[in-house]
Structure 1
Amino acid sequence: MRSFNIFCTVFLVFSIQVVLAQHSVKGAYYGEEFAISEKVNEGKAIYTGLTAKDSLQTQLSGEIREVCQAKGCWMKVEIAPQEEVFVRFKDYGFFVPKDAADKKVFMQGVAFLEEMSVDDQRHYAKDSGASEEEINQIKEPKRILRFEAEGVLIKD
């Protein structure tokens, strides 16, 4: 009986810590809710050593720089000065607000590298409101940092 009481006490303390960690960042969840890890990744270091065939399940944070103005179906997140990651949402299962630019974001999902085709780059440029002239200047595939988010927390 004593070990059961100790187990319950430890479980209760752990549960309270998880709840407090989840609520220490106030904001709105999109997709799956998740507890923010103390070791959430910031910066490009998470992509160091990845090849185009690798992926890494992780959490990543940064500042939203741009959101799809058609539906909110993708976003670009600055993870370090002059370094952005292109984020889409798992199974096209959720979107983020189109006015979320300049907000802090925490994401849980899969980090990977991708070579984006000219057609895809032009499609996303059109979604972001680029001019026809800017779209026509896209002429080569581009290797980009990618993230497929299972869940997103946009900080208030």
Structure 2
Amino acid sequence: MKKLVLVLFSVVLFTGCKNEKKVDEVAVVEEAVQEKYTIYGDEISDTEVLTKSQIIEKYNLLTPGDTVAVKFKTKVNEVCQNKGCWMKMDMGDIEAMVKFKDYAFFMPKDLAGEEVIVGGKAFVSEMSVEEQQHYAEDAGKTKEEIAAITEPKRTLSFLSNGVLIPVKEEQ
């Protein structure tokens, strides 16, 4: 009986030590992300990040109603100038509209031109004329530019739960 208790105790002890090592490895990865990026929203990793061309391929396979969980990196073209509640990401000939899950966080308004990593769910949708005009107004477009929006359009959309903005090196 003593041997059985000793064996069980040893198994529990060694199993517990292995889990602590994994926790320590995760903590090191999280610290590395925190040193390289300013984190908005949920903490996401900078691994398994799709390039712009890879995310465009994913979007081309989606139809309205489909979603895919991904992380990708590309340039920010535009940010909502009212409060940073959305941004448009460079996808070549088209942009992806990024919103933030539950409006839990907002982007710096001066982020346009920067490359960032966004994590969340990609999907395609059709944006109404009214919604396009609302976003154009948020972006500071002229009344003439807003009035020129007259047809719904297929949009690349993204609901982000986390964004990594590279920390700029001090000069």
Structure 1's consecutive aligned runs of 4 or more residues displaced over 2 angstroms after TM superposition are: 5-24
Indicate the RMSD between aligned Cα atoms, in angstroms: 2.2
* Identity, % of aligned positions: 41
How far is the alpha carbon of 1:20 from its aligned partner? 6.1
How far is the alpha carbon of 1:124 from its aligned partner? 0.3
The answer to whether residue 88 in structure 2 is matched with residue 85 in structure 1 is no
Match of 1:27 in 2: 37
Q: Which has the higher strand share?
A: 1
Q: Greater CA radius of gyration, 1 or 2?
A: 2
User: Within 2, Cα distance between the matches of 1:16 and 1:105?
Assistant: 22
The answer to whether residue 50 in structure 2 is matched with residue 41 in structure 1 is yes
User: Within 2, Cα distance between the matches of 1:9 and 1:138?
Assistant: 57
Q: TM-score, normalised by structure 2?
A: 0.79
How far is the alpha carbon of 1:41 from its aligned partner? 1.4
Q: Give the number of aligned pairs.
A: 153
User: Within 5 A, what are the aligned runs for 1:5-154?
Assistant: 7=18, 11=22, 14-15=25-26, 18-19=29-30, 22-23=33-34, 26-37=36-47, 39-43=48-52, 44-79=56-91, 81-154=92-165
Structure 2's unaligned 5+ residue stretches are 1-9
2:102 alignment partner AA:
D
Q: Which has the higher helix share?
A: 2
User: Within 2, Cα distance between the matches of 1:144 and 1:114?
Assistant: 5
Q: 1:132 to 1:104 in 2, by over 3 A?
A: same
Q: TM-score, normalised by structure 1?
A: 0.86
More deviation, 26-35/100-109: 26-35
Q: 1:17 to 1:114 in 2, by over 3 A?
A: same
2:43 alignment partner AA:
E
User: Within 2, Cα distance between the matches of 1:152 and 1:9?
Assistant: 28
Q: 1:9 to 1:123 in 2, by over 3 A?
A: closer
Q: 1:114 to 1:19 in 2, by over 3 A?
A: same
